[in-house]
Amino acid sequence: MGQGEFNISIKDLSIGFRQGKSISILRENINYSAIHGEMVALIGSNGVGKSTLLRSLAGFNEYFEGDFFLNGQPFNNYSSQERARLISFVSTEIVKVANLTVYDLVSYGRFPYTNWFGKNTEKDREIILSAIESVGMNGFIQKPINQISDGERQRAMIARALAQDTPIIFLDEPTAFLDVSNKYEIFHLLQVLAKEKNKTIVLSTHDLNIALREVDKFWILLENETFEGSPEDSVLNGNFEKLFSNKHIGFDHYEGEYFFKKDFREKVKIVGEGIPLNWTLRAFNRLGYQIVMETKSDFEVKVIQNEKTTIWELKLHDKTIVFQSIYDMLLFLQHK
């Protein structure tokens, strides 16, 4: 454990719901911590309580046992006004409001600091513009938020959280609706913000491959236990793999990727080099062929890279067939 000052410390927390007079506990004995400048991914399977936990930490839901400390003070000691200056929240919900410009949206982040009718001072305006700049949305200041893409809107929501100027930002599945490149960009943006602005950023996510590469810490939420640690430590000590209780999902410790386990089909020996070889291997992996190096195989594939094109030579029962694409070769093998 480092010497840094802990911003967040969660001790034996129980989360759940209150329905009338009865309380149903969803998870208990949750223990996590995070410090400033750290980006944390809260991971766990669907329905395990990630959203409920984040909502409890943001003060939307109550928690029932244990406590949650912000800089050593129990969360419940802070008033809702004080909380608004400590924690900002970005939800997974897509906010569409007619005529609401990116600037106006981000300016709402200043509400905890402005007077009763929400007038922004010159300093507020500077903070709003710098928040918009931080997320790279300069060209969109006067655009209505229902006329920009989902990725851009998510950036605008993050800018709003930045304008709120809180040491902690919670994000509930901020990349859920985004395409792959936008997912990477949002993760990277959050990582940069955590480091440059020294914030504690906690997000829940199912994009494990990206999280493995970008975040500083995992909060792993399982049915009965919780773990935390760097992504690398979590992989090495096996905690990360506990996410895949399903016997069909495996985790490749070398590649740092999880995959769907399949029953092996025929054996294939593949020769070649470079990037084409790599993707040819992936293709056969995907279809569940067993890839062998030395032992006798059912057939052999040679990846031949010319100057411009790549061709695949398939040797099957003393016949040699040449294919122009992986797709054609796989199609042939499946229907042979």
Partner 1 sequence: MQNTDHKNHSFFILILLGIIVIVFFILDLLLGSVTIPFSKIYSALFHPEISDTAATILRDFRLPKALTAIVTGAALSVSGLQMQTVFRNPLAGPYVLGISAGASLGVALFVLGFSSVFISGIFSATGAWSLALIAWLGAFAVMMLVLYVSTKVNDIMTLLILGILFTAATGAIVSILQYFSNESMLKAFIIWTMGSLGSVTKSQLLILLPAVILGIFLAFLKMKALNAFLLGENYARSLGVNIIGSRLIIFLSTSLLAGTITAFCGPIGFIGIAVPHIARVFFRTADHMILLPATILIGSALMLFSDIVSQLPGMQTTLPVNSVTALIGIPVIIWMIVKNKRFQSV
Site for partner 1 (CB under 8 A): how many residues?
A: 36
In the β-sheet with 22-35, what is the strand arrangement from edge to edge? 22-35, 6-19, 63-70, 73-74
Given candidates 44, 49, 109, 231, which one binds partner 1 under the rule CB under 8 A? Answer: 109
In 3D space, the residue among 118, 132, 194, 199 whose CA is nearest the CA of residue 160 turns out to be: 132
Compute the distance between CA of residue 209 and CA of residue 217 in angstroms, rounded to an integer: 14
Q: Does 191 bind partner 1 (CB under 8 A)?
A: no
- Fill in the per-residue mask, 131 to 170: x = in contact with partner 1 (CB under 8 A), - = not in contact: ----------xx---x-----------------x------
Q: Does 100 bind partner 1 (CB under 8 A)?
A: yes
Given candidates 84, 190, 314, 326, which one binds partner 1 under the rule CB under 8 A? Answer: 84
Could you tell me the two tokens for 258? 């999880």
User: Hey, which residues does 313 pair with through a beta bridge?
Assistant: 302, 322
By beta-carbon proximity to partner 1, the closer residue of 138 and 324 is: 138
Residue with tokens 């930002």: 169
Q: Does 68 bind partner 1 (CB under 8 A)?
A: no
Q: How far is the CB of 46 from partner 1 (least distance, A)?
A: 20
Given candidates 1, 22, 46, 117, which one binds partner 1 under the rule CB under 8 A? Answer: 117
By beta-carbon proximity to partner 1, the closer residue of 46 and 99 is: 99
With the CA atoms of 70, 71, 77 and 81 taken in that order, what torsion angle do they form, in degrees rounded to the nearest 10? -70
Compute the distance between CA of residue 205 and CA of residue 213 in angstroms, rounded to an integer: 13
Could you tell me the two tokens for 155? 């950036």
Cα-based distances in Å from 150 to 95, 96, 132, 169, 287 = 10, 10, 16, 20, 33
Q: Does 114 bind partner 1 (CB under 8 A)?
A: yes
Given candidates 19, 22, 24, 81, which one binds partner 1 under the rule CB under 8 A? Answer: 81
* List of residues contacting partner 1 (CB under 8 A): 55, 58-60, 80-81, 83-85, 87-89, 91, 93, 95-100, 103-105, 108-109, 111-112, 114, 116-118, 125, 141-142, 146, 164
